[in-house]
Structure 1
Amino acid sequence: MVSVFRSLIVIALAMSFALAHAGNYHPPEKLDDGWAVADATAQGWNVATLTSVEAKIADASYKNISSIVIADHGKLVYEAYFNDGNRDLLNDVRSATKSVTALLAGAAIDRGLISGVDAKVYAFFADRQPFLHPDPRKQNFTLEDLLTMSSLWECNDENEFSSGNEERMYVTENWLQFALDLPIKGFAPWMSKPKDSPFGRAFSYCTAGSYVAGAIVEHAVHKPLATFAGEALEQPLGINKVQWNTSPEGIGMGGGGTRYRSRDLAKIGQLAVDGGRWHDKQVISQKWIQAMLTPHARAREDAEYGYFWWRFHFPIKGVDTAVWAMSGNGGNYVFVLPQKQLVAVVTSKAYNQRYAHPQSQEIFRDYILKALP
C-alpha cells in the first residue's frame, strides 16, 4: 500500500511539473557569448512536444540528464538544465573529445603542420624505438587509420580481453609507448577482414588510437594539445572556459575527458553544420569538415563512422535520415544535421550505465526531431 501511495505521489508530481511548464517556454537568454537567440515558436517548432521531455526528466523516466541545448539555423532556440546542471557547468563529455581531436587534426593539416591523413603514424615517434611486436605493417599505419578506428592494432575497448583495451592503458605510466607497442591483431573466422568490410576498413573502437592521434597533433604543432585547441578552435569560437586532461607522461588526452559548457558544445556542433565557419570566419577548412563528415568505416549495422564522428540514422517525418554526432560515455551527445541547420546538445552524467546512450538518443528522436518545424 505504501509503495502504491509513493507511486501516486511520483505521478502527481510529474503531472504537476508538466502542467506548470505547459506553455511556459522561454527562448534562451541572449548573452555576450556569440550566440544569437530566437523564439522556437516563431521558428515553427512544436514547443509542446519539445518541452514535454522536461516532465520525463523530472520524474526520472530519463535519468541523470544535465542539459539540452538546441540551435536552429545558427540561433539558440532551446536551453534547459536539470539535475544540478547549469549554464557554467563544465560537462565531462568523455569520448566526445575524440571529435574535437579530429577538428584539431584538420587544423594542423590546414596549417601544413601535418602533411595529410596519409601521414605515417610511426614516423612521428622514431625516438620511441625499439617497439614491442615489431611488424613491417606498423610502418604503414596512417593518421587516417586512427581517425577511422581501423588500424591493425589489436585494440578493442569493447573487449575486456583485448591487449589494447583502454583500461589497460590507463594503469600504465607511458600511454604512448603502450599504444605503439601493441601487437597486430588477427581476425577470427567470425570477424570481417578489411578487404571484406564496407569502405575497406575493419572498425574496432580504440581509445588508445585516438590518444595517439592527439599526440601526433601535439608533436606536429610543437605545443600542448590544450594550447593548440585554444588557439585553433576554442578562442575563435569564443570558448573561454574549458578543461583538458593529460596523460601521466604529460601528453594531451585527445581520446576523452575534456570538459565544455553546453552552449560551447553547441558552438562546436554549429561549426560542423556551417562547414567550418563561425560568424563568417573560416575556423577549420570546409574541405576538412567535408572529409570528417564522410563515412569511412562501418561502425556497426546501424551506424557509420567518419573521422572520430559517428553517423547515426533517425526517422524524420518517416524518412530515414543520417545524423552526425559527437558521442561520449554517460550519454553525452552533440547531434548535427547540416541539411536542417540543426544542432542539438544532450549532456548526461549516466556514466557507465547501459541506459545512457539509448535514452539520450531517444530524447533526440522522440522529442527534438518530432518537434522540428
Structure 2
Amino acid sequence: MKRLILLSLLFATAPAAPAGAAPAALDDGWKVADPAATGWHVETLEAMARAIADGQAPETTSVLLVRDGALVYERYFGGSDRDTLQDTRSATKSVTALLVGAAIAQGRIPDTQARLYDLFGDRHWQNPDPAKEATTIEDLLTMSAQWECDDDNVFSAGNEERMYVSADWVQFALDLPARGYAPWTQRPHESPHGRAFAYCTANAFMLGAAVEKASGQRLEDFAAQALERPLGIVHSHWGRASEGTGMGGGGTRYRSRDLAKLGQLILDHGRWQGRQVLPATWVAAMTTIQAQAREDADYGYQLWRLRFPVRGVERGVWAMSGNGGNYVFVLPEERLVAVITRRAYNQRQAHAQSQAVFADYVLKALP
C-alpha cells in the first residue's frame, strides 16, 4: 500500500512536457503543432507555467492554446488532466447562445425578435407590464431585458441567488417586475447601442428554457444533437433547475480540449473541420458589439468583448467568461483561441488574474 501511495505521489508531481513540445495527438479532431517550430516564444510559456505554479493565478487547472486551428500548448495543474470536466460556471451562457442559434437555424425559434412571453403563453405571471412582456430573445441575448434583474446588485429582485432557491426558476423569471430607472441611470434610448445592460443570469437561463420549450427536448439532449456531437464532444455535464429545466445560465462542465473547440467554432464562423455546424451569420451576430457592459468592456450575444494590447495595438478579444477566473479567449486577428480554467470561485481577483496571464504571457509569447 505504501508503495502504491508513493508511486501515486511521484506521478502526481511528475514534470509536465516542456513548453516547446507539441501536445499529444489524439483521436479527438485536433491537429497539433510544435510551438517552438511554429515560432512561439517557449521561454515565455515556461515562465507562465512557473508563475501559475508560484500562485500568481491560484487554483488554475489548465491552459490550452490553439493557433491556426492547431493545438500548440496544453498544460494541466492542481490535479486536473485532459479528462477532467471543468466547471466553468457562466461560460455556459455563451454555449446557450450557440444553442439559440442552432434552434433558430432549425426553425424551432422564429428569430431573435420572437417574444419570450409568447413562447410561455401557457403560463400566467405576476407583475404584468407592456415593457416586460415585449422582451425578445435578442433582449435576453444582450443582457438588456426590461425586467428588474441585476446579479451585481444584492437588492435586485432578480439577483441569481434568489432564483437558485426558488422552486420554479422559469416562473421566478416570468414573475419579475418591470425594470425602473433612477434619475442618475441611463434608459435604453440614452445608452450606447440603445440597450441598458444589466448582467442577469435569469436572461441566459430563460434562453435555455426557450430552447427546451421550442425544441421539445431537454437542453442537454438538444446540445448533444445540435452542437456537441458535431464537434466530437462526447463528455459533458449539464445541471438542472429545481423544476428540472436545463441550466443554461451556468455550471455546464466540459473537458478543456472541448472548451477549445467551442472557441474554435466561434473563430471559424461556425465551422469545424470543414462542416458548417452553425450559420456563419449567427456567429457574426454573436461577435458583433450589441451593448456596452462597462466602460472597459462590450457585449455581443452572451459573449464579452474585452480589450488587450497586442503587439502595441489595442485589440478586441471575445471571451466566454465564468466565475473563478474561467475563460475561453478568441482573438480573430491572431487566429488564436486560449483556454484558461480555474477553481478560484468567488475570489475577488480571479478575473483580473486570468486576464493578466493572458496579457502578460500568452499574448507576449505569440510568434
Using the size of structure 1 for normalisation, the TM-score is: 0.93
Name the structure 2 match of 1:60: 55
Q: Paired residue for 1:194, among 188, 194, 197?
A: 188
Q: How does 1:348-363 map to 2 (within 5 A)?
A: 348-363=342-357
Separation (CA, whole Å) in 1 of partners of 2:60 and 2:278: 31
Show the counterpart of 1:107.
102
Runs of 5+ consecutive residues of structure 1 not aligned to the other structure: 1-16
Partner residue, 1:372: 366
Aligned AA for 1:51? E
| One-letter code aligned to 1:97 | T
SS at match of 2:101: helix
Cα distance per residue 1:130-152 (max 9 Å; x no partner): x1111122221100000000011
Query: Structure 1: which 4+ aligned runs deviate by more than 2 Å?
Result: 20-25
Q: Does the Cα contact within 8 Å between 2:148 and 2:178 map onto a contact in 1?
A: yes
2:36 counterpart SS class: coil
Deviation at 1:61, TM superposition (A): 2.4
Q: 1:159 aligns to what SS in structure 2?
A: coil
- The match for 1:266 among 251, 254, 260 is 260
**Matched positions, count:** 354
> How many percent identity over aligned positions?
58
Q: 1:50 aligns with which of 17, 33, 45?
A: 45
1:168 is the counterpart of 2:162: yes
What one-letter code is carried by the residue in structure 1 that aligns with 2:361?
A: Y
Measured after TM superposition, the shift of residue 24 of structure 1 is 5.5
Indicate yes or no: 2:36 matched with 1:41. yes
* Alpha-carbon distance change, 185 to 42 in structure 1, aligned in 2, over 3 angstroms: same
- SS in structure 2 of the partner of residue 183 of structure 1: coil
Q: Which residue of 1 aligns with 2:302?
A: 308
- Please tell me the root mean square deviation across aligned C-alpha atoms, in Å: 1.3
Alignment of 1:152-301 (within 5 A): 152-301=146-295
1:285-316 Cα distance to aligned partner (Å, 9 max, x none): 00000001100000000110000000000000
Tell me if structure 2 keeps the 8 A contact 1:333–1:345.
Answer: yes
Secondary structure of 1:352 counterpart? coil
| 1:343 corresponding residue in structure 2 | 337
Which runs of 5 or more residues in structure 2 are unaligned? Answer: 1-12
Deviations 1:100-144 (A, max 9, x none): 000000001111111110000000111111x11111222211000
Deviation (angstroms), 1:160:
0.3
Q: Which residue of 1 aligns with 2:84?
A: 89
Q: TM-score, normalised by structure 2?
A: 0.95
For 2:116, the equivalent position in structure 1 comes to: 121
